[in-house]
Structure 1
Amino acid sequence: MDGHDSEDTKQSTADMTAFVQNLLHQMQTRFQTMSDSIITKIDEMGGRINELEQSINDLRAEMGVEGTPPPAIKDEPKTPASSS
C-alpha cells in the first residue's frame, strides 16, 4: 500500500512540475510577444516624431525663420517675483 501511495505522489509531483513548467513557458512567450510589440510601437513613434520634426523644420525654412528662436511667451514670468 505504501508503494502505491508513493508512486501516486511521485506521479502527482511530476504532473505538477510539468504543468508549472508549461505555464511558465506560456507566460514567457506572452511577455516576449508583448515586449516585442511595445518595442515596435516605440520605434514607430520615434519615426513619426522624426518625420514631424523634419516637417516643422521644412515649414520653418519655407517661412524664412530658420535659425530664429521661437517667440517667447510673455503671459507668465519664468521665475516667481520675490516678495521682499
Structure 2
Amino acid sequence: MNNKPLKRCTFLDTINASLLIIVLLFMLDFENNATVTIILLAVFAFWIVTVILRNIFISKIEKDPNHPMHDNQSEENKK
C-alpha cells in the first residue's frame, strides 16, 4: 500500500490563514456588503472546521497502531 504521509498544516492552510486575517482586518462590512461578508465568514468557518477535523483524524491515526494508515502499518507492508 502506498500511503502518503499526512500533514497537519499545508501551504494552502498558510495562504487561507493569511487571507482570513486580511478579510477580518479590511473587508468585513456588515452595513454596506452584508451578503458578501456573511459568505466570506461562512467560507472561512468551513475551512477552519475542516482543519480541526483533519487534525483530529491525524491524531487518531497516530494513536492507533492498528490503523491501516499508521506509520508502522505502512512499514510492515513494505517487508
TM-score by length of 2: 0.42
Between 1 and 2, higher relative CO (CA 8 Å, sep ≥ 6) is seen in: 2
TM-score by length of 1: 0.40
